[in-house]
Structure 1
Amino acid sequence: MSEKSELLALKREIVDQLSREELIKIVLTQQKLIEKLQEEVEKLKERQPSNSKTSSKPPSSDLIQKSETAQVDNSKESESQPGS
């Protein structure tokens, strides 16, 4: 049995026919995959900025970044200029 076929979803009929050693190998392979995926999820959580849109934090806890401040200032200037 190849590694690729081990990682595919197995139907009950196929699993019933596998030996104990083959089942152990599949379980251990899946365990390694789960651990890698958990690590990847944690890394992604660390990279993602946490604000009120991506978490349960209230909007008042968001910090305004420079790019956001510049956008707000530009929109105010264009609104206040006559003939715009």
Structure 2
Amino acid sequence: MHFLMFAKGSLAAFWLLALLNLLYPMGEGWYLALNVIAGVLLLAHAGEMLLFNTRLAGRPQLWWHRLQVLLFGFIHLRSLTIAGR
């Protein structure tokens, strides 16, 4: 459980860095690389959200869980199965 919290915190820090990179671009080499990585990760998490939509369907606060999957991907889905035990 502690690993999942650490992973979520690391991904939250990455998304904050990606957002700051859009507002205040980093150096020439980092700006494009970080935007590409963030875009690919966002597409992968959107795919996970579509694939695991049935797992989220019966949950209260459905949009909150969808946002969490969009930001944290499989890590949030894994935390749902651990909390459901």
Does TM, normalized by the shorter one, top 0.5?
A: no
Give the TM-score taking structure 1 as reference length.
0.38
Between Structure 1 and Structure 2, the one with more helix by share is: 2
The higher-RCO structure (CA 8 Å, 6+ apart) is: 2
Give the TM-score taking structure 2 as reference length.
0.37
Which of 1 and 2 has greater Rg? Answer: 1
